[in-house]
Amino acid sequence: MSLSPHFLDELRNRLTLSEIIGRRIKVTRAGRESKACCPFHSEKSPSFTINDDKQFYHCFGCGAHGDVIGFIMKHDNLAFMDAVETLAAEAGMQVPKQTPQAAAKARQEKDLYELLDETTTFFEECLRDSRNVDALNYLLERGVSQEIIAEFRVGFAPDDGQVLRKFLAAKDYTDKDMIKAGVLRPSTRGGDPYAFFRDRVMFPVPDRRGRTVAFGGRVLPEHLRPPQRGDFVPPKYINSSETVLFHKGSMLYGEPTARRAAAEGQTLVLVEGYLDVIACAQAGIRGALAPMGTAVTEEQLISMWKMIPDFTKIPLLCFDGDNAGRKAARRASERLLPLLEPGRSVNFAFMPDGEDPDSLIKSSGVKGFQKILGSSVSLFDFIWNFYTQGRVFKTPELRAGVIKQLENEVAHVANQEVQVHYKSQLREKVSETFFKRKEYGFKKRDFGGYGKPRNQGGAAIPMRPPSTKNRAARLFTHALLAAVINHPHIFEGIEDALCELTLSDVALDRLRQNIMGILSDDPLIERKVLIEQLKNSGFAQEIGDICNESVYVHASFCSPSAKEEDVQALWLKSWQDGHSAGLGDEIQSGWRHVSCEEDEEKLRNLLLMKTADDEI
């Protein structure tokens, strides 16, 4: 039976070669490849290598070489179709039925690949033809070298609408074949079909295996092309129509080159067009890719992530710095959020106004372009900037509004693990921006009689707990954290206050952030489960320091035995007391000097004094 090349490609793409082989022999990761002792001959030192990116295995000892299907055939002693069915079951795919129609489809696809390769060769020869020297000079004047032209198989489609048809007909291809491949279009006037691309610089679009599946064509500058009829202005770029081999939303121009670059550790960079990819490649940035004249799609984003062998390199999406570029970036962010998973990340870079990668590399060199890439921002920061940049949030309503918008964005992160971290980062950013109060309000002590501010222009000091450098402050923070750990159900009622609690002790602040992340994801979690998760995250020492009798004796509301109905109110009361900016000198002195050995009664007296001070 003959299977469709598309089906076999999809089968290989869905499987990870090292995982399939690793289920049968012991495999060890070694850099970007995996190694094993060859299963096809006897050896003590591993010479059998597995390359997931290139989808092949090779033994330097016996010469065994092949793809995932070949490995299963040889190792499991299976016929081709049996190996395909075995792998399809693992990939969750249905093997096409062995029908005459399926065989015909496979033959048709094979013929189309060959036709498109012949067409690519034809365009290459036309570019070298002296009659088309203007097209070659156009590329050379744009800085495209002969070597890059050859590597990317750049060509030229002549203005004659029949010359390609005659070339392919001489190789026994029919008009029907050429129309199916997208290189001819039928006449609407009843005449002969004619070339889809005419008088254009041609960029073959290869699939991941390097086979041409489509073309993009760029019109020559006006002074280099024949006079047009009337006021007709040809579009700068046109792309092949969709065919059985070409699906615009899933293809990325430059994939074979970028895939190799990613395997070698280079960063993937998504740019706008064909010449941007070529300019990047010529400048040594081999990981450049471009969508096919449309906004980037979910399939293309997933394809980029799959090219990266590990999580060490974050792909970059590069946009123009104008409004159109910002809108394109915004659309990309909307597509990205539901796709995020642990390890899957994306950064955003923006070009200076009026520049694209091709023009910037020419004007500022590769270092100028790399500087732009180096100033990229994370997806989270892009979304934050999108909603906040250039805006002033002077009222509570405005601040609440933008926070709500940002929370709605984070809610689109489908993966719960990633969403927890997005929520945590959002809380930190909101707290840092809106709750330090230096721009949005005054401390109590900044107000004189009748609530009038003494210092209209002064900045208030941010609310913070007592310094963790003294023992009273440690008791304060330990009690608050212990109460949340021992009574996690109070989290929903104290979440904002806990977010605002800023600790100078790095370990305790990390503990606070982890508590918030876990409880945001599961507010109904049991105390024992929460403690176990925190200990598994490396906080066993901090849990021991916080959740013990030396803390409970001074702040009984935080002990596991405290009355459930009282804990939240006492927690908020303690938080407000510790954060108050209106303490008199005597009470502040008490907070500074009280020690953990002093009893809870003295702490209570200090709080009572503070309350009395508030009422005066």
- Evaluate whether 195 touches 242 at the Cβ level (below 8 Å): no
The architecture of the domain spanning 5-91 is Alpha-Beta Complex (3.90)
Mean pLDDT of 378-392: 93
Q: What is the pLDDT of residues 118-153, one digit of tens each?
A: 999 999 999 999 999 999 999 999 999 999 999 999
**What pLDDT score does 458 carry?**
36
**Rounded to 5°, angle at Cα 585 from 584 and 590:** 100
Domain range 100-224+235-239, CATH class: alpha beta
**What pLDDT score does 509 carry?**
84
Mean pLDDT of 267-282: 94
More confident residue, 408 or 493: 408
Q: Domain ranges in the chain? A: 5-91, 100-224+235-239, 255-388, 396-434, 468-608
pLDDT band at 233 (very low <50, low <70, confident <90, very high): confident
Mean pLDDT of 246-251: 92
* Residues contacting 240, CB < 8 A, separation 6+: 182, 183, 196, 205, 214, 215, 216, 246
pLDDT at 415 over 80: yes
Does 5-91 match 255-388 in CATH topology? no
Q: What is the pLDDT of residues 547-604, one digit of tens each?
A: 998 888 888 889 998 887 789 888 888 887 776 533 233 333 333 333 333 444 444 4
pLDDT at 184 over 50: yes
pLDDT at 273 over 50: yes
Mean pLDDT of 174-198: 92
Per CATH, is 255-388 categorized as 2.60.120.200?
Answer: no
pLDDT exceeding 90 applies to what percent of the chain? 45
Mean pLDDT of 459-468: 39
Mean pLDDT of 285-314: 86
pLDDT at 441 over 50: no
**What pLDDT score does 288 carry?**
96
On the 0-12 / 13-18 / 19+ scale of CB atoms within 10 A, 226 is exposed
**Which residue is associated with the tokens 């001959």?**
41
* Of the listed ranges 235-244, 295-304, 409-418, 586-595, the one predicted with least confidence: 586-595
Q: What are phi and psi of 157, to 5 degrees?
A: -100, 115
Mean pLDDT of 81-103: 83
Q: What is the DSSP letter of 535?
A: I
CA distance 325 to 317: 11
Both ends of the chain: CA-CA distance in Å?
A: 92
pLDDT band at 228 (very low <50, low <70, confident <90, very high): low
Over the chain, what is the mean pLDDT? 83
Distances, alpha carbon 483 to alpha carbons 319, 457, 534, 550, 597, in Å: 48, 38, 15, 14, 20
**What pLDDT score does 1 carry?**
56
